[in-house]
Chain A
Amino acid sequence: DIVLTQAPLSVSVTPGESASISCRSSKSLLSSKGITSLYWYLQRPGKSPQLLIYQMSNLASGVPDRFSSSGSETDFTLKISKVETEDVGVYYCGHRLEYPRTFGGGTKLELK
């Protein structure tokens, strides 16, 4: 199974500042179709996860452009610029390269 390792476990950010979250994969997430199968989700407190980023760098519908993602075949970074109150929650990376689908352990973002 593909193991996704996120860092840090938690991050505390001053509103208006930036935050970065790392996700490392145990296997290349580059598919045979040339798509990097890395996804980012945000789970706000008490809510269901929502898709933020698909195929490593594409914003999901309705997601503000303060969110961006980049990476290689195995190392990925989610960046949140100008953090706002609504960004608080747990961020998960996940893949869709093969079965079983797996997720990273999560990174909790809090405000200072």
Chain B
Amino acid sequence: EVQLVESGGGLVQPGRSLKLSCVASGFTFSNYGMNWIRQAPGKGLEWVAYISSGSSYIYYAETVKGRFTISRDNAKNTLYLQMTSLRSEDTALYYCARGSMDYWGQGVMVTVSS
């Protein structure tokens, strides 16, 4: 069974940093690209970033480019999202999803507030 489990969320002050993790199981993680997608409270879905299976290709939404860094450790079956210079508008539920977005995690909440 494919499982994606996010962690690392919480309450953080504007301008600070936070690192999210997503542990994958039930499939060969190193064969798949991975995404981060977020959903602000009561809002729709916003794609955030993608990383290819071997980390050769990385793409970001303009809203996070230069502030967020997606990375992965295939030996640990883990996807990461390093978030810096956080803003109130980054407050959202962050999901990791397998490359074709066929499987999603349960999400982890990030709240940016003073």
Least distance between B103 CB and chain A CB atoms (Å): 8
Least distance between B92 CB and chain A CB atoms (Å): 13
Residue A89 at the B interface, CB < 8 A? no
Number of interface residues of A (CB under 8 A): 21
Q: Does the CB pair B104–A49 fall under 8 Å?
A: yes
Residue B1 at the A interface, CB < 8 A? no
Give CA–CA (A90, B44) in the complex, Å. Answer: 9
Give CA–CA (A96, B98) in the complex, Å. Answer: 13
Known A-B contacts A92-B45, A106-B44; A100 and B101 likewise in contact (beta carbons under 8 Å) = no
Residue A71 at the B interface, CB < 8 A? no
Report chain A residues within 8 Å CB of B35.
101
Give CA–CA (A43, B97) in the complex, Å. Answer: 14
Known A-B contacts A94-B45, A105-B44; A60 and B102 likewise in contact (beta carbons under 8 Å) = yes
Give CA–CA (A58, B72) in the complex, Å. Answer: 30
B45 CB contact (under 8 Å) in A51, A99, A103: A103
Q: Does the CB pair A100–B104 fall under 8 Å?
A: no
Report chain A residues within 8 Å CB of B45.
41, 43, 49, 92, 94, 103, 106
Q: 1/0 per position for A83-105, CB-CB distance to B under 8 A? A: 00000001010101001111111
Least distance between A92 CB and chain B CB atoms (Å): 6
Report chain B residues within 8 Å CB of A60.
102
Give CA–CA (A2, B34) in the complex, Å. Answer: 21
Least distance between B63 CB and chain A CB atoms (Å): 9
Residue A39 at the B interface, CB < 8 A? yes
List 6 extra interface pairs beyond A41-B45, A43-B45, A92-B45, CB under 8 A: A39-B101, A51-B100, A51-B101, A100-B60, A103-B46, A105-B44
B residues neighboring A (CB under 8 Å): 35, 44-47, 50, 59-62, 95, 100-107
Name 21 A/B residue pairs within 8 A (Cβ), A-sorted: A39-B101, A41-B101, A48-B104, A49-B95, A49-B104, A51-B102, A51-B103, A54-B102, A92-B44, A92-B45, A94-B45, A94-B101, A96-B101, A99-B59, A100-B47, A100-B59, A100-B62, A101-B35, A102-B47, A103-B47, A106-B44
